[in-house]
A and B are shown apart, each in its own frame.
Chain A
Amino acid sequence: MSKVFLDWPAFPTAAERATKDEQLRANVRRATHTIRAKRGALAAERPDWQDLRDSAAAVKDEVLRHLDTYLEQLETKVREAGGVVHWAQDAEEANRIVTGLVQETGETEIVKVKSMLTEEIGLDAALEQAGISARETDLAAAIVQLGDDLPSHVVVPALHRNRTEIRDIFRREMGRHGRPAPDDLGDDPEELAEAARLHMRDKFLRAKVAVSGANFMIAETGTLVIVESEGNGRMCLTLPETLISVVGIEKVLPTWRDLEIFLQLLARNATGERMAPYTSSWTGTTDGDGPRTFHLVLVDNGRTRALADPVGRQALRCIRCGACMNICPVYERTGGHAYGSVYPGPIGAILNPLLKGPDDTQTASLPYASTLCGACNEVCPVCIRFTDVLLKLRSDVAEGDAEVKHPAEKAALKAVAGVMRHNPLWNAAVKSAGRAGAVLPTDMNLPGPLHGWTDSRTIPEIPAQSFRTWWKRTEGGTR
């Protein structure tokens, strides 16, 4: 059964569990540090980096302001190009539409391109209930699926797994879903990638239906864009007869030309490459090239709720590059699962309460899953001001339903303090930030001990003291 984040413990409980898992912490630390370094070098290479970010933020703000017009324009253009457009208000409606479309084709095994939205709505589980097996083809998504696991990162959903764990999952599970992994499979990343290539190959060649998301949709032309590395995306977009793309309504861009901004930012910020190996774009259907049938399912699922929040709506600018989680000192220590959502890290801490409303203990705890150090503000390619949104959402929680508020607030503050343990300055700051939330400052000039951090914008390092045993045993988190 495909897993979904259901009845997940609130951040404090989940984080406490996660920080005790030394293997997990070592894996997350190693991966986030690798990518931080690459990203830093490639962002620094562009003297116009800030200009690109400013442009990206402005384009997204324009899209959000006139989202109705852009979606109508997109719909018209997709139809003119031979596509069929569907609208879904929530997860259930989206799943029903996609299931129906797959059933019409009569297929019971389909291929998927990694898509966080389809994880968000639990599409794989919904298809499974209808007797349809949806096989993930992105390497990391396949590791998660084969391991009956949950995603922990938006770019690399299996970031919490190391090579040895991946080898074990491949050896154990591949044979149950197609071509088995070789018995003597080692844990070298090249060998693992080769095993995935062979396992996936016939699935691509046989597949009649593919489901994808999209990174961008162009209103002016009805074009969809997918950025990927492995070529599994290209396989899914090109070889099947039917393509169903399920996309959040906020993914639209006004013009084709706007891609010159986003394609220069995305891979640099996400994987530390100048461009990802493959970027594909398509407009409706093309005779003799690719799928003959194309469906676009536009999904709201809380996005209009987020849009109505004057401070929080900027979270909808997100292009899912993952940089905010890679840089986050809390994420580094808890991993992604603690956030109880397919969107972890700083973006998860703001987006989930905005999409779902902060009135259950899980989402109400998320705005506290931050030290307010502001490192995420600095790396976000669309200039989301996380600190502002976190404080606004803390104030919403504090003003909101009392049953949720008191336990959530207290426990969450304690949890983050625990995560960043034995740092008195930190603890004081977090407490003060909790109070600050109630008065809602709208700029970054925070009171008390936070002040210095927001000025210097450095990521506070945790003292070795609290992690001494762990540190020693893992050789500084490298094992």
Chain B
Amino acid sequence: MSAREAILGRIRAAVADLPDDPVEVPRAYLRGAPGITPGDREATVELFVTRVTEYGATVRRVPEADLPTAVAAALDERAARTAVVPDGLDPAWTAAWKGQVRRDVPALSTAQLDATDAVVSACAAAVADSGTIVLDAGPGQGRRALSLVPDVHVCVVREEQIGSALPEVIGRLDPRRPITWISGPSATADIEMIRVQGVHGPRRLTVLVTH
């Protein structure tokens, strides 16, 4: 008998005492963030800004027209000289920046990415309650390594992409795509359970919320 058959057989024998009906799952938990009236867009955006800031990221609300200067400022204040841009990113966003923009076509090697200071990306969705941005490798986001290896990440979030809490957002995502949920810059609490910001992932995260 194969290991597979043996394990499945043992499972069936182990639970033979239980009724076969599916266990009913209550789902009484909130769909949106506690403390916010569902549908209150301004409160949702505000909560997102607060929560991302609490993780130690820099967050700014920027009108669409001012994005190019805001992106340039975000890169300059981290002293970035090179930035990779994923396919499908609006070229206008990096147009005002004087540094060197690298496209990922053909794909940059890991060493080239490691020698790149920053990444500018869009996102697929965002979650206000947990201060999370979600990347799904779609247009303007690129493959996962792009938002991982460079030390500075500038991410543009459109206000309408921000959902109130996780239950509101998860259904919008396609799990067949590789998905990364980012809640602040990389961090660790492995030394005495004290939070330290900045380990292997980007140590600096700037989120530009635009409308």
Contacts and interface: CB of A to CB of B under 8 A. Distances in A.
Given A263-B166, A275-B130, A288 B15 contact: no
Contact of A156 (B26, B179, B182, B193): B193
A239 interface: yes
A189 interface: yes
Q: Give the secondary structure class of B's interface.
A: loop
Interface in A151-199: 156, 158-159, 162-163, 166, 189-190, 192-194, 196-197
Given A47-B34, A280-B178, 15 more contacts: A27-B192, A62-B22, A62-B25, A93-B3, A156-B190, A162-B192, A196-B199, A205-B110, A221-B175, A260-B166, A263-B181, A275-B131, A279-B180, A288-B143, A290-B145
11 contacts: A31-B193, A48-B28, A51-B26, A68-B8, A201-B114, A230-B190, A264-B29, A278-B201, A286-B137, A289-B178, A304-B7
A283 interface: yes
Given A166-B191, A193-B199, A229-B187, A68 B12 contact: yes
Contacts of B7: 71, 87, 89, 249, 298, 300, 304
A280 B201 CA distance: 13
Contacts of A52: 29
Interface stretch (A99-107, A137-145, A390-398, A451-459): A137-145
A159 B200 CA distance: 20
A114 to B, nearest CB: 10
Contacts of A273: 183
Contact of B148 (A93, A221, A238): A238
Interface string A199-238: 0110011000000000000100101000001111011011
Contacts of B82: none
Interface of A: 27, 30-32, 34-35, 38, 45-48, 51-52, 54-55, 58-59, 61-62, 64-68, 71-72, 81, 87-89, 93, 137-140, 143, 156, 158-159, 162-163, 166, 189-190, 192-194, 196-197, 200-201, 204-205, 218, 221, 223, 229-232, 234-235, 237-239, 249, 256-257, 259-261, 263-264, 267, 271, 273-283, 286, 288-290, 298, 300, 304-305, 307-308, 310, 313
B17 interface: yes
A307 B10 CA distance: 9
Given A34-B194, A230-B200, A257-B171, A55 B25 contact: yes
Contacts of A139: 188, 190-191, 199
Contacts of B17: 310
B112 to A, nearest CB: 11
Contacts of B170: 256-257, 259-260
Given A205-B111, A289-B144, A277 B11 contact: no
Given A48-B30, A159-B193, A189-B191, A307 B14 contact: yes
Q: How many B residues are at the interface, by size bracket?
A: 35 or more
Contacts of B179: 280-282
Nearest to B28: A51
B129 interface: yes
B191 A54 contact: no
A163 B3 contact: no
Residue among B166, B167, B180, B199 facing the most chain A CB atoms (10 A cut-off): B199
Given A264-B166, A274-B130, A58 B191 contact: no
List 7 tightest A-B contacts by C-beta distance, closest first.
Answer: A231-B201, A231-B200, A304-B10, A230-B199, A308-B14, A62-B23, A140-B190
Interface string B127-146: 10111100001000001110
Contacts of B131: 274-275
Nearest to A192: B191
B172 to A, nearest CB: 11
Nearest to A157: B190
A89 B6 contact: yes
Contact of A234 (B18, B137, B180): B180
A35 B144 contact: no
A223 B174 CA distance: 11
A275 B180 CA distance: 12
Contacts of B186: 229-231, 277-278
Contacts of A197: 198-200
Most-contacted residue by chain A among B17, B51, B129, B144 (CB, 10 A):
B144
Contacts of B191: 139, 163, 166, 189, 192-193
A55 B180 contact: no
Contacts of B187: 229-230, 277
Given A48-B28, A65-B18, A286-B178, A189 B34 contact: no
A93 to B, nearest CB: 6
A189 B194 contact: yes
A31 B177 CA distance: 37
Given A87-B2, A304-B14, A277 B143 contact: no
A311 B135 CA distance: 41
B178 A34 contact: no
